[in-house]
Chains A and B, each alone.
Chain A
Amino acid sequence: MSLHGYDPARVLLLRARTLGSIDALEAIRSSDPEASEAVRVARLARRTLEDTWLPAIDAIHHSTAMRTWRQEIGLGTVTGVRLLARLVDTFGARSTWMTTSPLAHLDDHRLRARLDTAVDALERAVLVGARPTDVVSARRTLATILVELLDRTAARPPRVPGPWTALDPAAMARLLDVAVRTAEVTGLGLVPAVDRRRPFEDPLVGVLALVGTGGAIGDPLRARLEHHAVASGAIADAVLRAPEVVDLRVIVTVAAAMVRQLGPEARGARLTPRALPTPARIDGLIRLIAGAPAGALDLVSDGSVAPVLATTPHLDADAVEALLASALGAPPADATAHRAQLEAWAGLVATTPAGALTPGASRGIARSVGPLLADLGVHLDRRRPVVLTAADGEPVRLGSYDDVARLLGDVLSDHAAQAALGLAIAVYRDEQLGAAVSALRTGPDRDPSRAAGVVGGHLADVTRVVELVVAARVDRDGLLALRHAAWQGTAHDLLGLVGIATSLGGLPAAPVARPLTTVAARSVAKAVDATSPARLPDVGLDADLAAGFTHAALGPPTHDPAVRRAVGLEHVSTERWAELDPLLTALAAEVDPDERAWLDGRIRAVVARDPDLDAYLETVRSISGEDRLG
């Protein structure tokens, strides 16, 4: 074979045989002194295979070309690999010879030296305006080295740093500078463009792919990346040309820098029109990121990016909608992601100016609000800040009731967003009704005497969400799309539920009467048409009074079983009272209004989990007139 390279099928067999040999040699052991030399020889042979053969074979096995080959022939399973190895072994099967990089024989140190030389050569060629053929040649040389670096990095086991990490930040920044400058020269038509089918011939693609392989992007490199991202379209173009090889963090960093440039602060600081990124490029990046919820959440969580995304009219509405829906509406991967989602919501509530949401942002928010409704329903109170609890147990302050309502009001300016929100409310109501029906029919709450509490508890949360929507939109006549979607999306009929509750004998009971009446009267359409709720500002004193009410209402039954029986709470579990007890004690002792509000939120969350308690608190609020304060 004249060209350096390999037969991929035979390399698979070689790898399997090498691994088998290592295992077999590992098993060569003996305690007999006469065998000591043989055992030593076996150990030496094994070390040769482990230290020399396997890394060399794995460098091929994990290379981009080999991975592509395995994908192309559908060799995704261990069985498939074994079958192919047997074909090669038994029948001498062969595959197409693949040539390898002429740099494969260089060790990492020499490759690094070759990289420095190539960067120098390309920089000189670009700076002095060398002949296009010379620039292309230097560009190709650098691109080849970058691909070799990438392949070697990919061949490293996890947690073993790749060779590029030997590059100090300054060298990496220079590499980026030269690659960007080359791309700009190419973009001006001074140098032949790279074949679009072979994106790695553009060194900038290779550099961007390398940046993502070194773990966290350091601040100096991030700053350089952001600088280039907003100074020219070369970076965005390279990412869009080969998005599959660029790490998501790099794409998010680039997109965030470009989006910030569209914001009012950056606009004021810009000196030349050249610095304005093309919205079309940002749209492309946003669409890319929208496909990966974790990246979308990273971008939307950035407090300097979210308001610009939500209010800039130049951006593609569909792209922004997809991005926000992906970031805020996708199921969180873990507790940290859940908190990040809630904080992103809080950021949107806090930073979006009134009336400034674009249609795309409105739709994106409306599409993703569904998962939030269950939490919101429990915690909504006109006089309290909306504080939700993240999956990691940390409270996140979403904003004041009115601020949340204002954001929703902006969302509802768009008809498509109205429809999406209406559907979300319908689904939420559907879930609550379904849960109530299920509890009444089959659950431990089958006892007719408890039916009232069950129904009331489930529906009270829906009522609170509907009230928020009503508060959000002063122009109630404009909510036609929401009303339509909300009604169309309802699978359970309220009347059917009332019928079930009645047949169980629970409906006339006092605790359910008010919440059910509330829902019936204030169900989406009627509430929107007929209700004009008073709007009180969420002031600290008011929230503090509400916390005091919670303590006054729940303290006696929590601390005295006799009171529980008297108010019909004898079925509430001991565990629930045990949860409430320390919270109420802490609330009584706490003087800081914010802490009191937070504790109040925790107590209300506990209460919401028990239909009897929830209905009890609602009833006491109603009877005492406390609810009318809101």
Chain B
Amino acid sequence: MDTTIDPDQLRRRAASLRDLAARLATTPALTLDGVAGHDTWDSPRAELCRRLWRANRAQLLAAIDDLHARARRLDRQADHVELARQVFA
């Protein structure tokens, strides 16, 4: 365990990742499929758009989860650094 790392900085990074995840989660892009259905437009081109977007949307949702996971990992790392510092103090 590298105890020279600043735990506050790790927590700031975690907060920043969570903020980014929140921004992604609230982007209007994730509501696009709700207004782009067959009752809005219907054609082979529209179908192609929807198919492509399904992949992008899944990636975006996965990225949000991934950001939260990375944030949690950074928080845990900060906790460990603080604990190590207390033990070796």
Partner of B63, one of A11, A38, A49, A89: A38
How many residues on chain B are close to A (CB under 8 Å)?
A: 38
Knowing A32-B16, A32-B17, A45-B29 touch, does A6 contact B41 (C-beta < 8 A)?
Answer: yes
* Residue B21, interface by CB 8 Å: yes
* Residue A56, interface by CB 8 Å: yes
**Are the CB atoms of B35 and A13 closer together than 8 Å?**
yes
Separation of A20 and B48 alpha carbons in the complex (Å): 21
**Are the CB atoms of A56 and B46 closer together than 8 Å?**
yes
Residues of A within 8 A of B44 (CB): 4, 104-105
**Are the CB atoms of B39 and A10 closer together than 8 Å?**
yes
Residues of B within 8 A of A100 (CB): 43
Separation of A28 and B28 alpha carbons in the complex (Å): 13
Residues of B within 8 A of A88 (CB): 35
Separation of A7 and B38 alpha carbons in the complex (Å): 10
Minimal Cβ-Cβ distance residue in A for B19: A30
**Are the CB atoms of B40 and A11 closer together than 8 Å?**
yes
**Are the CB atoms of A56 and B20 closer together than 8 Å?**
no
**Are the CB atoms of B29 and A49 closer together than 8 Å?**
yes
Separation of A100 and B43 alpha carbons in the complex (Å): 8
* Residue A52, interface by CB 8 Å: yes
Residues of A within 8 A of B59 (CB): 41, 44-45
* Mask: chain B, 45-74; 1 = CB below 8 Å from A; 0 = not: 110110011001101101110110010001
* Residue B83, interface by CB 8 Å: no
**Are the CB atoms of A48 and B67 closer together than 8 Å?**
no
* Residue B42, interface by CB 8 Å: yes
Residues of A within 8 A of B85 (CB): none
Separation of A48 and B53 alpha carbons in the complex (Å): 7
Separation of A94 and B39 alpha carbons in the complex (Å): 9
* Residue A194, interface by CB 8 Å: no
Separation of A44 and B44 alpha carbons in the complex (Å): 22
Residues of A within 8 A of B48 (CB): 52, 56
* Mask: chain A, 108-132; 1 = CB below 8 Å from B; 0 = not: 0000000000000000000000000
Residues of A within 8 A of B39 (CB): 1, 7, 10, 94
Partner of A42, one of B28, B42, B63: B63
Name the distance in Å between B8's Cβ and chain A's nearest Cβ. 15
* Residue A577, interface by CB 8 Å: no
* Residue A60, interface by CB 8 Å: yes
Residues of B within 8 A of A35 (CB): 16-17, 20, 67, 70
Name the distance in Å between A95's Cβ and chain B's nearest Cβ. 11
**Are the CB atoms of B17 and A52 closer together than 8 Å?**
no
* Residue B36, interface by CB 8 Å: yes
Partner of A34, one of B17, B28, B43, B64: B17
Knowing A13-B35, A14-B36, A21-B32 touch, does A38 contact B43 (C-beta < 8 A)?
Answer: no
**Are the CB atoms of B53 and A17 closer together than 8 Å?**
no
Separation of A51 and B80 alpha carbons in the complex (Å): 46
Minimal Cβ-Cβ distance residue in A for B14: A34
**Are the CB atoms of A34 and B13 closer together than 8 Å?**
yes
* Mask: chain B, 10-34; 1 = CB below 8 Å from A; 0 = not: 0001001100110110011101100
Q: Which of A73-96 contact B (CB under 8 A)?
A: 88-89, 94
Residues of A within 8 A of B32 (CB): 14, 17-18, 21, 49
**Are the CB atoms of B28 and A38 closer together than 8 Å?**
no
Q: Give the residue among A45, A57, A104 with the most B Cβ atoms within 10 A.
A: A45
Separation of A176 and B49 alpha carbons in the complex (Å): 36
Q: Which of A353-384 contact B (CB under 8 A)?
A: none
Residues of B within 8 A of A21 (CB): 27-29, 32
* Residue A509, interface by CB 8 Å: no
Separation of A28 and B26 alpha carbons in the complex (Å): 11
Minimal Cβ-Cβ distance residue in A for B43: A4
Name the distance in Å between A134's Cβ and chain B's nearest Cβ. 29
Minimal Cβ-Cβ distance residue in A for B38: A1
Knowing A21-B27, A38-B67, A48-B53 touch, does A30 contact B38 (C-beta < 8 A)?
Answer: no
* Residue A53, interface by CB 8 Å: yes
Separation of A3 and B43 alpha carbons in the complex (Å): 8
Minimal Cβ-Cβ distance residue in A for B69: A34
Minimal Cβ-Cβ distance residue in B for A105: B44
Residues of A within 8 A of B41 (CB): 5-7, 10-11, 14, 57, 60
**Are the CB atoms of A4 and B42 closer together than 8 Å?**
yes
**Are the CB atoms of B16 and A25 closer together than 8 Å?**
no
**Are the CB atoms of B53 and A53 closer together than 8 Å?**
yes
**Are the CB atoms of A30 and B20 closer together than 8 Å?**
yes
Q: Give the residue among A13, A42, A56 with the most B Cβ atoms within 10 A.
A: A42
Residues of B within 8 A of A41 (CB): 56, 59-60, 62-63
* Residue A37, interface by CB 8 Å: yes
Q: Which of A47-64 contact B (CB under 8 A)?
A: 48-49, 52-53, 56-57, 59-60
* Residue A24, interface by CB 8 Å: yes
27 inter-chain pairs at a CB distance below 8 angstroms, sorted by A residue, are A6-B40, A6-B41, A6-B46, A7-B40, A10-B39, A13-B35, A13-B40, A14-B40, A27-B23, A28-B23, A32-B16, A32-B17, A34-B17, A34-B67, A34-B70, A34-B74, A35-B70, A38-B24, A38-B66, A41-B60, A44-B56, A45-B53, A45-B59, A52-B52, A56-B45, A56-B48, A100-B43
13 A-B pairs besides A21-B28, A21-B32, A24-B28 with CB distance below 8 A are A4-B44, A5-B41, A5-B42, A14-B32, A17-B32, A24-B23, A35-B17, A38-B20, A38-B63, A44-B56, A56-B48, A59-B45, A105-B44
